[in-house]
Amino acid sequence: MIERAPLQYLARSGGLRLAYRMRVGCGLTIVFLPGYMSDMEGGKALALDEWAGGQGRAMLRLDYSGNGASDGSFADGTLEIWRDDVLFLIDRLVEGPVVLVGSSMGGWLALLVALAIPERVVGIVGIAAAPDFTEWGFSDAQKTQLHDAGRIVEDTPYGDQPYVTTLAFWQSGQAHLLLGAPIALDCPVRLLQGQADLDVPWSLALDIAAALRSSDVQALLIKDGDHRLSRDADIARLIEAVANLPEPT
């Protein structure tokens, strides 16, 4: 068993502390971006971190504000705030280029982070990446509820706590939609998508691939893969995708 990096904190503006685990290593630093209401202790993040440790690779795992071990309230978070949390930690903790690995909403954040610092992001791996889900993931009735009540509370099969979506989060998502225009990124991108995913339509991976300006984009459709993509075979595909990203020239 590879020893995990210690839990540490870094305070952003206002004194709110962001939790992270930074594995020291060589080569490109892998940065894992969790999904909505998830954290850095999820199975995919841990498996990738153990692989990175065995390879002597540097890796940063983190919790957005209001998530996991970080300070703050989840209900105060927005897509823009969480993007800026990631940018802050990369700026303060990482030297050199990074590879972003984003799960579900983390895949949306990976694209937004890469657009903010394209000179530092040399590869992206999306796991059921879900850009623009505020646009396609809510019914008209849910959008009405958001505007009338300010939030939606829903049961979820992915945890003990219900999903909470606030109007502020939904509005921040609508302000950062990506798929209606070319996505001006040129780095290699790998997209892993289950075709049995009940949350993210598998065709979205093809839409992302088509929108990206990069010519080095590959989408792997896993016929029996669900939204989690956390089975041993799925983890192996994730590690292979990260390991085989081309080194920048």
> Residue 155 has what pLDDT?
80
Catalytic residue among 49, 63, 85, 197: 197
> Residue 221 has what pLDDT?
98
List the domain boundaries for the chain: 8-243
Cβ atoms 186, 119 nearer than 8 A: no
Residue 215 appears among annotated catalytic residues? no
Q: Which CATH architecture has domain 8-243?
A: 3-Layer(aba) Sandwich (3.40)
Label residue 2 by pLDDT band (50, 70, 90): confident
> Residue 159 has what pLDDT?
66
Q: Which of 155-159, 163-167, 209-213 has the highest mean pLDDT?
A: 209-213
Residue 39 appears among annotated catalytic residues? no
Catalytic residue among 103, 104, 132, 172: 104
More confident residue, 2 or 203: 203
Strand duo 8-11 + 57-62: pairing: unpaired
H-helix or E-strand spanning residue 153: strand 151-154
Nearest to 125 by CA among 51, 22, 177, 14: 51
Residue 227 appears among annotated catalytic residues? yes
Write the DSSP assignment of 193-245 as a string of letters: EETT-SSS-THHHHHHHHHB--S-EEEEEETT--SS--SHHHHHHHHHHHHTS
Label residue 163 by pLDDT band (50, 70, 90): confident
Catalytic residue among 49, 176, 227, 234: 227
pLDDT greater than 90 at residue 158: no
Other beta carbons within 10 Å of 155: 8
Q: Which two tokens stand for residue 118?
A: 């394209």
